[in-house]
């Protein structure tokens, strides 16, 4: 089974390939038109991206929309995670803005979660979706040199995503959990006899 990855984020693309390959899912890239993310939820934005890419390529597509939701900030940055510090901001600038807004939030009140909504759209119109979450506090300062986005300030069992090896992160991350659920749904679809041409088999 093969899908086009509907993302312009190279780091996210790497994670999709890394997590899905051992599960028997191939991921390829394509030149895709930009998509205005007007959805109010991660799931809505994932669908918008997958639908657009499927229409442009005529192939099955997998898309992810994800972000960090912080309780003390009323759920922000949420669906605006990538644009939290303005268009074109760097990861460091987004983290700086987040930590500045949380500078007076004590350790016991820094609860947050990463959310990943995954959506597959097939040329025949079939949609398969899944969501994964990972709970953890926001650190007071960046920790670790790996990962991307808000990884250096999101802690799981006292360790930031950016301090984990790729395999450690994939085992606990929101995206890893969402993709595992997605594969289960795709296997159900395959067993139901859904058209192999549609599923890219």
Q: Which is nearest to 171 in space by CA: 2, 22, 49, 9? A: 22
CA distance 89 to 135: 25
121 φ, ψ (degrees, to nearest 5): -125, 130
Q: Which is nearest to 67 in space by CA: 43, 96, 33, 103? A: 43
**Catalytic, out of 65, 71, 104, 151:** 65
104 belongs to the catalytic site: no
CA distance 80 to 67: 8
Report residue 148 as tokens.
């991307």
The residues assigned a catalytic role are: 65
């Amino acid at each position: 089974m093969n899908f086009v990855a509907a993302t312009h984020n190279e780091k996210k693309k790497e994670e999709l390939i890394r997590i899905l390959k051992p599960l028997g899912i191939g991921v390829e890239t394509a030149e895709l038109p930009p998509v205005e993310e007007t959805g109010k939820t991660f799931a809505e934005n994932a669908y918008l991206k997958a639908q657009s890419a499927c229409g442009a390529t005529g192939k099955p597509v997998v898309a992810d929309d994800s972000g960090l939701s912080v309780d003390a900030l009323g759920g922000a940055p949420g669906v605006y995670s990538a644009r939290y510090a303005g268009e074109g901001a760097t990861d460091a600038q987004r983290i700086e803005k987040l930590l500045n807004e949380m500078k007076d939030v004590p350790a016991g009140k820094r609860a947050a979660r990463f959310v990943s909504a995954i959506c597959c759209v097939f040329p025949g119109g079939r949609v398969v979706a899944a969501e994964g979450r990972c709970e953890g506090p926001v650190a007071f300062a960046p920790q670790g040199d790996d990962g991307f986005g808000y990884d250096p300030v999101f802690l799981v069992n006292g360790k930031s995503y950016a301090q984990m090896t790729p395999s450690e992160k994939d085992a606990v991350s929101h995206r890893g959990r969402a993709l595992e659920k997605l594969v289960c749904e795709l296997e159900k679809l395959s067993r139901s006899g859904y058209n192999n041409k549609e599923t890219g088999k």
